[in-house]
Amino acid sequence: MNIKIMHLYPDLLNLYGDRGNIECLRKRLIWRGIDAEVVTHTCDDTSFDISDVDIIFLGGGSDREQKIVCTRLLEHKKELKDFVENGGSLVAVCGGYQLLGKYYKLEDQTIPGLEILDIYTEQGKKRLIGNIVLKSDIIDEEIVGFENHGGRTYTGNYKPLGKTLYGHGNHDDAGAEGVVYKNVIATYLHGPLLPKNPQLCDHILKNALKKKYKDFTELDPLDDELEHMANRYIVERFCGNGGKA
């Protein structure tokens, strides 16, 4: 078995070391004896072929970088939409999450999005920054991470990635964070999202393997004891004692 992962625009959308998430996807396949191929598509690449790609990763960026990347990204709007509608796995983080929607409205400009999701983002007054903990129904363990965004994302009736137990999420009083749609995971949690949340990483890998290999059933377990302990520590720190950090 093998899985092909594409890191989209790592030259611009890499705000908090998103490459670590790619490395996590790759390593958790290799440790199980599954081949993993990682390719990048940067602003300098002219051809765009995702026909044999299984997982696409779109990372976070500053408003300035999002403005630059958006024109290039929109050239591939149809291919990316078809990829998602056909069950391809797409992980979009922060700036990447915002770009999946209809638009990201800034004070002086509106950045058009890919319209893969019927959501929109507007810049708020203060940035929403800090640790965040979610309860998701797609995995057992709480999802832990860090958010830092000026945009507020309005997600309509989409299923969120999780209920916000601590932190802000999609917008100031959303009570929910991210979007799950088909095999898309879109979230404001950036930096080491997948190393911190190996169950989420495995969820993404399982979806991709199930789509590609009809007889695939389950991933072999890995020793995640340290990751589990780190996760418990963060959940206890921010959500223990009635959620008071």
List residues binding ligand GLN (CB under 6 A): 15, 60-63, 66, 94-95, 148-151, 190
Task: Choose, from 94, 149, 171, 203, the residue flagged as catalytic.
Answer: 94
Kindly tell me which of 190 and 196 has the beta carbon lying closer to ligand GLN. 190
Closer by beta carbon to ligand GLN, 62 or else 110: 62
Active site residue 43: no
Q: Which is nearer to ligand GLN, 7 or 149 (CB)?
A: 149
Nearer to ligand GLN among residue 28 and residue 152 (C-beta): 152
Shortest separation between residue 159's beta carbon and ligand GLN, angstroms: 22
Specify whether the CB–CB gap between 15 and 61 falls below 8 A.
yes
Question: Could you tell me the smallest distance in angstroms from the CB atom of residue 189 to ligand GLN?
Answer: 10
Q: Residue 88, class by beta-carbon neighbours within 10 Å (0-12 exposed, 13-18 middle, 19+ buried)?
A: buried
Half-sphere exposure of residue 8: CA atoms within 13 angstroms, side-chain side: 29
Of 150 and 205, the one with the shorter C-beta distance to ligand GLN is 150
Closest distance of CB 198 from ligand GLN, Å: 22
Least distance CB 109 / ligand GLN (angstroms): 12
Verify whether residue 168 is a known catalytic residue: no
SS3 readout for 78-102: HHHHHHHHCCCEEEEECHHHHHCCC
Distance separating alpha carbons of residues 187 and 91, to the nearest angstrom: 8
Report how far residue 43's alpha carbon sits from residue 155's, in angstroms, rounded to the nearest whole number.
28
Question: Which stretches of 140-226 are assigned E, i.e. beta strand?
Answer: 143-154, 162-166, 176-177, 179-181, 184-187
Of 7, 41, 168, 190, the active-site residue reads 190
The residues with which 224 forms a beta bridge, in sequence order, are none
Residue 22 CB, nearest distance to ligand GLN (Å)?
Answer: 16
How many residues are given for the chain? 245
Residues annotated catalytic, as ranges? 94, 190
